[in-house]
Amino acid sequence: MQLADLNWPKIQALNKDIPVVFPIAAIEQHGGHLPLFTDSMLCGEIVRRVAERLGDRVLFAPLLWLGNSDHHLDFPGTVSAPPRTYLDVLGGLLENFIQHGFKRLVFLNGHGGNEVPGKQTVFEVRQHHRSRGDLLLLFATYWSLGGQPWEQEPSLQQRQMGHACEWETSMILRLAPNLVGPLEQLPEVPFGNAFEPATRGWITKDRTVPGHIGNPRLATAEKGEALFRVFSEDVVALLERVLRWNGKDWNG
């Protein structure tokens, strides 16, 4: 069910235990070969597939295309809400829907730069409503839900999400091949190991000249379809858990 299609009396009449999903993504540079809207297109496609499966059991807000992309600002075209601004925007969305009476609120994320502010948002909003025992506030990034796409599609080389990489380029090839630039000349940009397991502050320029991280030359539309299938399945499984939650306990 799509929030944008309903009117307020219909929203008012909904059972407030329905999960509300806020898809969040970005508009930012994706190397010299993928469109700026890559993360929003990919997250939107996963939402489309998941919504088809779950029908009226879940309410989907429209995708928020503005994300925290400060690290990509050296590349033209990138648009970013700075992290503290973004934190307030996400917090405001949750507060709006808590005010409207909803209790199960889920961010479905499609951009790495949104992870820190998104997790901070669900933490802060929970503290703010500490007298409530009936709130479920979740933040989930679609490629981090446990799926191992290479088990479905053994030709996949990559084992983690990169940037405008084998995975993302494959999915855009599946969705909109006309928007994918020539891949033949693109160098492989290794993930590297920046003092792991410590977390290092970085800007994209620290890691890549062309803007991608990974090897886009490995991309195919068939791999893209396999990735969409695995990631959509993971999101459906998560939302089924949210639907099954008993409304009060820690375990879900």
- Residue 39 or 234: which CB sits closer to Zn ion? 39
Question: What crossing angle do the helices spanning 166-175 and 221-244 adopt, rounded to 10°?
Answer: 90
- Residue 11 or 161: which CB sits closer to Zn ion? 161
- Residue 19 or 31: which CB sits closer to Zn ion? 31
Question: What crossing angle do the helices spanning 115-128 and 83-99 adopt, rounded to 10°?
Answer: 40
Shortest distance, CB of residue 171 to Zn ion, whole angstroms? Answer: 9
Shortest distance, CB of residue 227 to Zn ion, whole angstroms? Answer: 12
Gap between the Cα atoms of 171 and 223, Å rounded: 7
Shortest distance, CB of residue 28 to Zn ion, whole angstroms? Answer: 7
- Residue 59 or 63: which CB sits closer to Zn ion? 63
- Residue 39 or 45: which CB sits closer to Zn ion? 39
- Residue 78 or 121: which CB sits closer to Zn ion? 78
**Helix, coil or strand: residue 84:** helix
Shortest distance, CB of residue 163 to Zn ion, whole angstroms? Answer: 6
The footprint of Zn ion (CB under 5 A) covers 39
Residues 6+ apart with CB under 8 A from 209: none
Query: In Å, how far are 30, 48, 67, 128, 243 from 85, measured between CA atoms?
Result: 23, 28, 10, 18, 31
**Helix, coil or strand: residue 62:** coil
H or E element: which one contains 244?
helix 221-244
247: left (phi over 0), alpha (psi -120 to 50) or beta: left
- Cβ-closest position to Zn ion: 39
Q: What is the DSSP letter of 66?
A: -
